[in-house]
Amino acid sequence: MERPIIKTDHLTFSYHTDGEATPPVLTDVSLEIADGSFVAVLGHNGSGKSTLAKHMNAILLPTGGKVYVDGLDTSNEDLLLDVRRTVGMVFQNPDNQIVANVVEEDVAFAPENLGIPSAEIRQRVDEALAAVGMSEFATHAPHLLSGGQKQRVAIAGVIAMRPRCIVLDEPTAMLDPVGRAEVMRTIKTLNRKSGVTVVLITHHMDEAAQADRLIVMAGGHVVADGTPKTVFSDVEGLRNVGLTVPDTVELLYELRQDGLDLPLDALTDDECANALYKLLA
Amino acid sequence: METILQLEHLSHIYSAGTPFEHSALVDVDFSIYRGEYLGIIGRTGSGKSTLIQHFNGLLKPTSGRVLFEGKDIWETKERTRATRFRVGLVFQYPEYQLFEETVYRDISFGPRNMGLDDTEVDRRTRDAAAFVGLPDAVLQKSPFELSGGQKRRVAIAGVIAMGPSVLVLDEPTAGLDPVGVESILSNIRDYHQAKNATIILVSHSMEEVARTVDRLVVVSDGHIPFTGTPREVFSHGAELENLGLGLPQMTRVFHRLRALGVDIDPSVYTIAQARAAILAKLGKGAV
Amino acid sequence: MALRDITLGQYFPGHTIVHRLDPRTKLLFTILFIVALFLCKTIVSYAIVAAVLAISILLSRIKPATILRGMKPVMLIIVITAMLNILYTTGEGTPLFQLWIFRIYPEGFLTAFYMILRIMLLITCTFLLTYTTSPILLTDGLELLLSPLKKLHAPIHELSMMMSIALRFIPTLIEETDKIMSAQKARGADFETGNLFQKARALVPLLVPLFISAFRRADELAIAMECRCYHGGEGRTRLRQLRYTTADYWVLAAGLALCVLIGVLRHFGW
C-alpha cells in the first residue's frame, strides 16, 4: 500500500487545565487515511470527532502517540507550514473563516501567505473559484452571499493552497438543504475529479452515506470503521452510541423486525425502492 | 377552530426608498389556530424569518395587519409590548443570546421584564427549567459553562418562562446531533400538550416537520404557495422541488416504487407510515 | 432606521476609473483634498473643492443618495457643531438678536454654514474612498505608504491586517447586533425608554452576548488563518501588485494642483 496521507498512531489527547489533565478526549486512535479517498467521520457531539480533525493539520498536537501527514510528524514545529499546506481545513461557520471583504482576495489569502508570485496566485484563485463554481462571484462581498456560497468560498480558499487533503469539520451544520447539497456536490467533485483526499466530519447520516469509508467515533474511540453500507447495517450498534441511521435503512430495519426478508444496506432512495420492489413484485 | 393569530394582507419591504430596497413579504394572508402545531418551511431568504418576526411585533408590517386574538397588535404601544409576552419567539441559535451570570437569572429575564412579583417569577423560572429538562443543580451555574445543547435549552426556557400561548421556534434543532434533536423536539411537544399552546416550528428539514406538525405553511419568495396538512403539501412534489425544497425521504422512495410499477399510495412521509403501507400491501396489516 | 442600513465603511465593487486607481493614489489624493479643504476661506474656494469632489463622485458612479444615507448617523454631530458655532461666534457688528445668554451674530451663521460645508465635504470624500476601494487594497496601500516606518520596527503589517479584518467584520457584527437586539426584545427587553442610566443598563443583555460572540469569532478566525499558513507579514506576496499607471500620476498632479490653487486663492484673500 502507498504511504497514507494521514496516519494517527496510538493518538491520545486530553486538555490540560492548571497543569492537571482532564479525562482524555481521544484514546488510542490509530487510523490510516489513504491518499485520494473520501472518508466520513461520524459521531455525536462530544464524541471526539472534531478533536480528531484538529490533529490532522497540527491545530492540536497529541498528548500521547503521533500523527503523521504525508509522513511528516505534526509535532515537529519546523514542518508546520508543510503540514498545513498538505492538509487544508474547512470549519463549520463560514463567516468566521473568511478573512477578506472581496471573494477573490479571500481565496488569495493562503497563496499570499505562502509567498507565491502574483501571476501564479491569480491563476490559482481563478482555478479554485472555478472548482467550487463561484467564478462569477469573484469580485463580490462575501457577507452578501448565501451560506452555501460562503462555504464554497471557504473551500476555494483552502484549495488555492493546492493541498492533497481537505478536512471539513461539520461544513454543512449551519446550512439549509440547498446549501448542504451545494457543498456536498463540491466536495465530491474535488475528490473524484482532482483526486483530493477528503475527510468529512459530520453528524448527518445522509452525508456520511456518500463517502467511500465511514469511521464512527464515540467516547474518544473509533467504534466502527468500514464502508457506509456495512457500518449502517449495524442499526443497534449505532443507536447505542447516540446515532441514528438513514431513514431508508431505518425502514428496512423495522420491516425486518416484522419478519420480512430485506437487505439493510440501502442508502439511497433508489436502493431502498429496489429492495422493496423485489419484495412486493 | 378558534383563530389566535391572523395575518391580513401583510407586506414587508426592507430598506424602503434605498438602492437595497426589497420586498421580503408580499400580501401574505393566513390564520393560525389555537392549540395547533404549525410548521413553516422555506429556504433561507424566503421571507420566513421576516414572517415570524411579525407574529410578536418585532417587525412592523409595511402594509397589512397582524391580529392577536382578534385585535391589531399595533393598535397601541402597550398592546405591542403585551403581545411580545403572549407570543414567545425563540430565534435561531438562541444560545448566543445568553448573558446573565447564572442560568436562573437568564431564564427569569423575560418574567422580570413582565413586571411579575418575585414568587411568580421564581415559579415560572423553575417551571420553565423543568420543561426543558434542566436539573436544579444547573440553575446556579453560569450558562457559559454548559454544553451547546444545554445552553440551547436554557435559551428556550427563557422564552417558555414568559408563559406564551403561542411559541414560535426558528430552527430549534439546527446543528444538534440526533439525540439533541429528539430531546428538544420532545420538550416542545411537552409544552404543546401541557399548556395547550400553539406551536410554530420553523424548519428547513422536511423529515423533521413531516413527523412533528399538524399543518404546514410553505414560504417562498415572500409568498405562501402552499398550506395544508403535510400530506396535502407533500403531494405538490415537483413544485416543492422547483422551490428548492425537497420531499421527505420516505415520500421520495415511494415515488420511486410507483415509477417501478408498484401500485402504492405515495402520500406517506414518515417511516411509520411507510412501514404500515408496505405491510398493508403484503396483506399483513400494521403490527 | 435599522442598523443594517448603515453603509459607513462599506465597499461597493465596481469597475470605474475611480475604482481602478491605485489605492495609494486615492489615499494621497484624499489627503491633498483634505488639505485643500482646510485652506478654503471663501465660497469660491469651497465651490472649486466641491466641484472636484462632485466630478469624482460622477466618475465613480456611486449614487449621491447612497452617500447622503451614509451621512445620517453623523447628522446629529453636524447639527450640534453648527448650533454651537451659531451660539458662540461673536461678530463685529451688532448682534442679530439675543437668545437667553447668547448674542447671535450674522457671522455665526456664516461660520456654521462653512463648518457644515467642510464636515460634509470631508465625510463625503472619505466615503468615496471607502466606497470605491476594497478594504484589503486600502490597507495594502496604507501598508505600502507607511512601509518606510518598518525600518523603525513599527508593526505596520500587523496594524494593516488588524484594520482589514476589522473592516471585514463590521457588516457581520452589525447583523449580529440586530439579531441579538431582536432576540432580547422578544423577551421584553426595552432599549428605547427610560433615563440614561436605565438605558445603559438595558444594553447589558446586548453587549455581553455581542462581546462573547466577537471573542469566539476572533478565536475561530485566528485558527482558520493559521490553517491557511498565515505566519505574519514576512515573505508574503500579493494577488494584486500595486503599480502606478499614467492615470494615477494625473490624479496626483490634479490633487497637488488643487492644493496649490486653493493656497494661492487663500493668499489673495479668497
Facing A178 at nearest CB: one of B244, B279, B284:
B244
Residues 6+ apart with CB under 8 A from B241: B247
Q: At residue A128, does pLDDT exceed 90?
A: yes
CB pairs under 8 A between B and C: 64
- Rounded to the nearest integer, the mean pLDDT of chain B is 91
Give the count of alpha carbons within 13 A of B286, CB side only: 7
Q: What is the pLDDT of residue B60?
A: 94
pLDDT tier, C48 (very low <50, low <70, confident <90, very high otherwise): very high
What is the separation of C-alpha B117 from the centre of its chain, rounded to a whole number of angstroms? 30
The whole-angstrom separation of Cα A50 and Cα A46 is 8
Mutation target among B54, B97, B162 for the C interface, most CBs of C within 10 A? B97
Alpha-carbon gap: A122 to the closest alpha carbon of chain B (Å):
31
pTM flag (> 0.95): no
* pLDDT (0 to 100) of residue C1: 38
Query: What cell does B203 get?
Result: 424548519
Does residue A122 belong to the interface with chain C, where contact is any CB pair within 8 Å?
yes
- Selected for mutation to probe chain A from C236, C237, C238, C240 (highest A CB count within 10 Å) is C237
pLDDT of C185: 93
Q: Give the distance from residue B77's alpha carbon to the nearest chain C alpha carbon, in angstroms.
A: 12
Compare CB distances from B262 to A206, A260, A280 and report the shortest one's residue.
A280
Query: Hey, what amino acid is at A184?
Result: M
C167: closest chain A residue by CA: A101
DSSP class per residue in chain A: -PPPSEEEEEEEE--EETTEEPSPSEEEEEEEE-TT-EEEEE--TTSSHHHHHHHTTTSS--SEEEEEETTEETT-GGGHHHHHHHEEEE-S-GGGG--SSSHHHHHTHHHHHTT--HHHHHHHHHHHHHHTT-GGGTTS-GGGS-HHHHHHHHHHHHHTT--SEEEEESTTTTS-HHHHHHHHHHHHHHHHHH--EEEEEES-HHHHTTSSEEEEEETTEEEEEE-HHHHHH-HHHHHHTT----HHHHHHHHHHHTT----S---SHHHHHHHHHHHH-
Q: How far is B220 from chain A (nearest CA, A)?
A: 14
User: What pLDDT band is residue B93 in, cutting at 50, 70 and 90?
Assistant: very high
Of A162-176, A227-241, B269-283, C192-206, the range with the lowest mean pLDDT is C192-206
Rounded Cα gap, residues A80 and B274, in angstroms:
52
Contact C186 B19 (CB under 8 A): no
CA gap A215, C159 in Å, rounded: 43
Q: What residue in C sits closest to A101 (Cα-Cα)? A: C168
Determine the pLDDT at residue A74.
95
Give pLDDT, residue C4: 52
Three-state DSSP state, B71: strand
| Terminal CA-CA length for chain A | 45
Tell me: pLDDT of B221 over 70: yes
pLDDT for residue A1 is more than 70: no
DSSP B172-232: TTTT--HHHHHHHHHHHHHHHHHHT-EEEEEES-HHHHHHH-SEEEEEETTEEEEEE-HHH
- Distance CA(A19)–CA(C181), nearest Å, equals 40
Measured distance CA(C131)–CA(C9) in Å, rounded = 7
Q: Specify the amino acid at residue A26.
A: L
Average pLDDT over residues A182-187: 95
Average pLDDT over chain C, rounded to an integer: 87
- Would you state the pLDDT for residue A229? 92
The single-letter code of the amino acid at C225 is M
Written as nine digits, the cell of C88 is 458662540
- B257 and B89 in contact (C-beta within 8 Å)? no
Q: Given a cut of 80, is residue C10 above it in pLDDT?
A: no
Per the rule left: phi > 0, alpha: psi between -120 and 50, beta: everything else, C75 is alpha
| Average pLDDT of span C256-270 | 91
Distance in angstroms (rounded) separating the CA atoms of residues B59 and B221: 18
The neighbouring-strand residues paired with A224 are A216
The rounded distance, in Å, linking the Cα atoms of B266 and B221 is: 28
- pLDDT band of C3, cuts 50, 70, 90: low
Query: Hey, what's the cell of A127?
Result: 482555478
Considering A100-109, A161-170, B231-240, the range whose residues carry the highest mean pLDDT is: A161-170
Q: Residues B55-70: what's their mean pLDDT? A: 94
Helices (H), chain B: 48-55, 77-86, 103-107, 109-113, 118-131, 136-139, 148-160, 178-195, 206-212, 230-234, 237-242, 249-259, 271-281
Q: How confident is the model at residue C9 (pLDDT cuts 50, 70, 90)?
A: low
Q: Which residue of C has its CA nearest to B112?
A: C188
Examine the pLDDT at C93 and tell me if it is beyond 90: no
Question: B99 and C188: CB-CB below 8 Å?
Answer: no
Average pLDDT over residues A233-261: 91
Element (H, E) at B8: strand B3-14
Q: A21-62, pLDDT tens digit by residue?
A: 678 899 999 999 999 999 999 998 889 999 999 999 999 999
Q: What's the CA gap between B250 and B5, in Å, rounded?
A: 32
Cβ(B84)–Cβ(B57) under 8 Å? Answer: yes
Residue type, C21: L
**Interchain pair B19, C66: CB under 8 A:** yes
Q: What is the pLDDT of residue B287?
A: 47
Q: What is the pLDDT of residues B158-185, one digit of tens each?
A: 999 999 999 999 999 988 888 889 999 9
User: Can you tell me the distance from the alpha carbon of A10 to that of A52, in angstroms, rounded to the nearest whole number?
Assistant: 12
Q: Provide the grid cell at A177.
A: 438543504
Q: Which residues of C229-241 are buried (b: 16+ CB within 10 A; e: fewer)?
A: bbeebeebbbbbe
Count the Cβ atoms, other than its own, within 10 Å of residue C11.
21
Residue A55's pLDDT is: 96
pLDDT band, residue B33 (cuts 50/70/90):
very high
CA distance C2 to C20: 32
Separation of alpha carbons A63 and A24, rounded Å? 9
Grid coordinates given for B261: 410499477
| Confidence at A16, pLDDT banded by 50, 70, 90 | confident
Query: Between chains, do C187 and B113 touch, taking CB under 8 Å as contact?
Result: yes
Q: How far apart are CA B165 and CA B56, in angstroms?
A: 11
Beta bridge partners of A40: A200, A214
pLDDT tens digits for range B252-267 = 999 999 889 888 888 8
Q: C-chain residues within 8 Å CB-CB of A112?
A: 236-239
The most confident of A185-199, A239-253, C238-252, by mean pLDDT: A185-199
Asked whether residue C270 carries a pLDDT value surpassing 60, the answer given is: yes
**Count of beta carbons in the 10 Å neighbourhood of residue C46:** 18
Beta-carbon separation of C13 and A97 below 8 A? no
- Confidence (pLDDT) at C171: 85
pLDDT class of B129 with cuts at 50, 70, 90:
very high
Question: CB count, 10 Å around CB of A195?
Answer: 11
**Residue-wise pLDDT tens digits, C161-212:** 888 888 788 889 988 999 999 999 999 998 888 788 888 888 999 999 999 9
DSSP state of B91: P
∠ CA C249-C14-C252, rounded to 5°: 15
CB A189 within 8 A of CB A198: no
Grid coordinates given for B143: 450558562
Give the model's pLDDT for residue C94.
Answer: 77
Q: What pLDDT does B286 receive?
A: 47
Give the three-class secondary structure for B265: coil
Interface of B with A (CB under 8 A): 43-45, 147-149, 174-180, 204-207, 244-246, 248-250, 252-254, 256-257, 259-262, 264, 271, 274-275, 278-279, 281-282, 284, 287
Average pLDDT over residues A247-263: 92
Give the distance from CA C238 to its chain's centroid: 26
